[in-house]
Amino acid sequence: MYRAALVKSVGGFREGFEGSQDYDLLLRCVAARETPDVRHIPAVLYHWRASSGSTALTADAKNYATEHGIEALKEHFRSRGREGVLVEPGRFPTTYHIRFPVPERAPKVSIIIPTRNHQAILRQCIDSIRAKTSYSNYEIVVIDNLSDDDESLRYFAELEKSGVRVLRYDLPFNYSAINNFAVERVDGTVVALLNNDIEVITSDWLTEMASHALRPDIGAVGAKLYYGNDTIQHGGVIVGLGGVAGHSHKHLPRDNPGYFRRLFLTQNLSAVTGACLVVRRDNYLKVGGLDEANLTIAFNDVDFCLKLWAIGLRNVWTPHAEFYHHESASRGPEDSPEKIDRFRKEIAFMKAKWGDRLKRDPYYSPILTLDWENFTPDFRKAPRKPWIEWSNARLHPGS
């Protein structure tokens, strides 16, 4: 639904975009508005007919729809002076992969990896970065947090000789404080936070993630992470899952398309995991980095992303940067009484700070469950108010 005056001002539907004529119209209407204001009503208002030859049955029914969608996107970027943006077909029909340009002189990226002992895990991480990173201008900065293993100390010395910076953080483990300490001491335009148990899969991961982080309206950028058994560990973060936040599509097979193919689509999300997070350094510092006072271990990444969102930046998750995440390989499970007590306090802090923002994720339908990560509908949440009153309450809390 559009204002008629807006549709008339852009010339309405156009020939040459059959199969994606509605997408072309949407892109032109968005471009015509100085501050585009697009809203989605999360209630079923219409059922799409599924006749023979219709894309309601399968997008393959109209192969030209993808081609015309690509042309609509190319023209959209050209009209906005973004000649360097590349538009490629996505994994599925009528899906797309947008490649944003990185300046010819690639900005420096500081890759920050906290660690303590466990040299074999760290070695696997760094070897994979060096072997598979096509981005040209980056440095690796290892933060040694009280390592006392001889093998690890020898490896640190080896790393320093090879050009890797090793900084010492000689205080008790505090994930937030360690990363803040590092970001203050690097000079990259972009910083990449990496756990030491991350293993690179795709060679253009840093080009993909940095290209988004360099966009002026983007905050944090997250990646697609797998467990060692090729199931999803992280497909982005949905706030509200489990009470505070949870990982999207967790444990689904690697090639599963996910809910409406979201596992293969670049998208805005409320948050992404700090296990592999790329952000401009100035934005990191602008929001005060990670909360080292209240969130020493858990939810600091979610809080960080919400702080970026609160200053008007959008967080992005991309499936085109893939990694294995050998989760908690160095720290182990959070199962001691002290760790459990700390985790409960961090949950209470997040709920007190963000309140209703944890109950209304704008990138997750309010009809879906908050109990599981599999996008199951929760029919207990079906709206009972008239749809317009209900949607306004969702879109404009307090109205």
The CATH number of whichever domain residue 243 belongs to comes to 3.90.550.10
Give a yes or no: residue 383 inside a domain.
Answer: no
Are residues 129 and 36 part of one domain?
A: no
Tell me, what's the pLDDT at 59? Answer: 56
CA distance 184 to 22: 47
Tell me, what's the pLDDT at 15? Answer: 95
The total of structural domains in the chain comes to: 2
CB atoms within 10 A of CB 243: 14
Q: At what angle do helices 64-79 and 21-32 cross, to 10 degrees?
A: 10
Tell me, what's the pLDDT at 67? Answer: 95
Are residues 121 and 43 part of one domain?
A: no
112 closest CA partner among 125, 96, 93, 131: 125
Give a yes or no: residue 144 inside a domain.
Answer: yes
Structure tokens belonging to residue 60: 């393959």
Tally of CA atoms within 13 A in the half-sphere of 272 that contains its CB: 31
pTM assigned to the model:
0.91
- The boundaries of the domain holding residue 94 are 4-99
Are residues 134 and 53 part of one domain?
A: no
Give a yes or no: residue 67 inside a domain.
Answer: yes
At residue 47, the 3 state secondary structure works out as coil
Are residues 91 and 123 part of one domain?
A: no
Mean pLDDT by 10 residues, the chain (399 residues): 95 95 96 85 78 61 85 95 94 95 96 97 98 98 98 98 98 97 98 98 98 98 98 97 95 96 98 98 98 97 98 98 84 72 96 95 92 86 51 45
Tell me, what's the pLDDT at 41? Answer: 85
Are residues 256 and 205 part of one domain?
A: yes
Are residues 146 and 120 part of one domain?
A: yes
Are residues 90 and 131 part of one domain?
A: no
Give a yes or no: residue 210 inside a domain.
Answer: yes
Give a yes or no: residue 133 inside a domain.
Answer: yes
Structure tokens belonging to residue 299: 């939810």
Structure tokens belonging to residue 15: 């020939």
Give a yes or no: residue 370 inside a domain.
Answer: no
316 closest CA partner among 176, 394, 173, 216: 216
Region of 251 on the Ramachandran plot (φ > 0 left; ψ -120 to 50 alpha; else beta): left
Are residues 147 and 54 part of one domain?
A: no
Are residues 171 and 74 part of one domain?
A: no
Report the relative pairing of strands 138-144 and 109-115 from DSSP bridges: parallel
Give a yes or no: residue 58 inside a domain.
Answer: yes
CA distance 397 to 399: 6
Are residues 93 and 114 part of one domain?
A: no
Tell me, what's the pLDDT at 330? Answer: 58
Structure tokens belonging to residue 146: 């009280």
Contact 196, 276 (CB under 8 A): no
Are residues 262 and 140 part of one domain?
A: yes
CA distance 243 to 371: 8
**Is residue 132 classed exposed, middle or buried when 0-12, 13-18 and 19+ CB atoms within 10 A define those classes?**
middle
Contact 250, 232 (CB under 8 A): yes
Q: Where do we find the tokens 């709920």?
A: 351
Give a yes or no: residue 379 inside a domain.
Answer: no
Strands (E), the chain: 86-89, 96-99, 109-115, 138-144, 165-168, 190-194, 198-200, 218-226, 232-234, 237-239, 245-247, 267-269, 276-280, 314-325
Are residues 173 and 91 part of one domain?
A: no
Tell me, what's the pLDDT at 390? Answer: 43
